[in-house]
Amino acid sequence: MDNIKVTAGIKRLAINGDPKRIVEFNPSDILFVERFYEIYREFEKKQAEYDNKSKELDAQSSQLDESGVPVNMKAGLDFVKDVCNFMRDKIDYLFGEGTSQKAFGDVQSVDMIGQFLQGVTPYIQETRTKKVNKYTNSRTAKKSKTMK
């Protein structure tokens, strides 16, 4: 039987160079890209909520308990944990179940999640730019030929 080769364009990235912690995604899959930007918008909304809540908590942090710990410390930690869980769930939705655990382990860190997203974004943007240029350049070339 004859066969054809179809390249999927899968990107494989090792987390911190660890070959056991590989994240795979297809930046040329339009459905993946659609979900990526959908989630990116959700993260931006969550970031605004996070900023507002942080300001609110910071304003209250001057009130200390008898041990010298801010009285709202638990509320602040719970909020950050909620944000991390939200973001980890979205990353798992986008990249596949278990990706957050593979990337972050048991650590709950908004900073690490941001680093992860900043790390994968260039691969997505590069692929999208190539795809868009492929079509816009071919249209431009066709228009140039017909105008001559």
Instruction: Please check whether residue 82 lies inside any domain of the structure.
Output: yes
Mean pLDDT of 121-141: 75
Other Cβ atoms within 10 Å of 79 Cβ, number: 17
Instruction: Please check whether residue 46 lies inside any domain of the structure.
Output: yes
Q: Are 1 and 96 in contact (CB under 8 A)?
A: no
Which residues does 43 contact at the CB level (< 8 Å), separation at least 6? 87, 90, 117
Query: Does residue 108 or residue 70 have the better pLDDT?
Result: 108
Q: How confident is the model at residue 147 (pLDDT cuts 50, 70, 90)?
A: low
The pTM assigned to this predicted structure is 0.76
The DSSP bridge pattern shows strands 18-25 and 11-15 to be: antiparallel
Instruction: Please check whether residue 35 lies inside any domain of the structure.
Output: yes
- Residue numbers of the domain that contains 59: 11-107
Mean pLDDT of 81-105: 95
Mean pLDDT of 93-103: 96
Residue 22's pLDDT is: 95
Instruction: Please check whether residue 3 lies inside any domain of the structure.
Output: no
Instruction: Please check whether residue 138 lies inside any domain of the structure.
Output: no
Q: Are 27 and 12 in contact (CB under 8 A)?
A: no
Query: What is the count of structural domains for the chain?
Result: 1
- Cα–Cα distance, 57 to 75 (Å, whole number): 8
Q: How confident is the model at residue 91 (pLDDT cuts 50, 70, 90)?
A: very high
Residue 144's pLDDT is: 55
Which residues does 19 contact at the CB level (< 8 Å), separation at least 6? none
Residue 141's pLDDT is: 56
Measured between its terminal Cα atoms, the distance across the chain in Å is 47
- Cα–Cα distance, 73 to 90 (Å, whole number): 26
Q: 24-71: per-residue pLDDT in tens?
A: 999 989 899 999 999 989 888 888 888 888 888 877 767 888 888 877
Instruction: Please check whether residue 127 lies inside any domain of the structure.
Output: no
Instruction: Tell me the CB-side half-sphere exposure of residue 41, using CA atoms within 13 A.
Output: 5
Instruction: Please check whether residue 69 lies inside any domain of the structure.
Output: yes
Instruction: Please check whether residue 39 lies inside any domain of the structure.
Output: yes
Helices and strands of the chain, counted as H and E runs: 4, 2
Mean pLDDT of 112-116: 93
Residue 146's pLDDT is: 55
For helices 30-60 and 110-147, give the axis angle rounded to 10 degrees: 140
